[in-house]
């Protein structure tokens, strides 16, 4: 969630948002178009020319090939951005060992709570 709140430069956020919007619009359109092409191909096989049916099937295959190619390239790009962000934006908390006989620490004198650790943080 932290990556979505601050994925990096502004153009990366716009690219992610734009790709999500395109995915939400293109997926139903590709599905409906493919179904209509295949339905037309079935009708042409039964009532009319086989050549038109083959053309509609080829159109459907081309449509889904382009859709899958765009989806995979977009997904791979955003995964690469996320992995690069994760590699360069690591949170490290340095913990110092507490002495057993020390009555109080600086944090308790200042009234600060000890830092909460997330499971993704590295303890050094």
Candidates 80, 78, 85; CA nearest to 3 is 85
pLDDT digits (tens, 9 = 90+) for 73-117: 999 998 998 888 788 877 777 788 876 655 555 554 445 555 555
Rounded distance, CA 91 to CA 13, Å? 21
37 CB neighbour count, 10 Å cutoff: 21
Q: Provide the whole-model pTM.
A: 0.62
Candidates 8, 27, 5, 1; CA nearest to 89 is 8
Domain locations in the chain as residue ranges:
10-89
């Amino acid at each position: 969630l932290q990556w979505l709140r601050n994925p990096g430069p502004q153009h990366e956020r716009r690219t992610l948002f734009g790709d999500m919007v395109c995915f939400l619009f293109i997926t139903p359109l590709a599905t409906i178009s493919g179904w209509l092409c295949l339905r037309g191909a079935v009708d042409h096989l039964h009532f009319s020319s086989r050549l038109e049916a083959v053309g509609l099937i080829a159109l459907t295959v081309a449509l889904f090939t382009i859709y899958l190619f765009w989806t995979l390239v977009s997904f791979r790009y955003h995964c690469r951005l996320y992995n690069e962000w994760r590699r360069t934006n690591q949170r490290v908390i340095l913990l110092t060992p507490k002495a057993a006989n020390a009555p109080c620490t600086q944090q308790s004198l200042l009234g600060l709570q000890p830092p909460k650790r997330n499971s993704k943080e590295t303890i050094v």
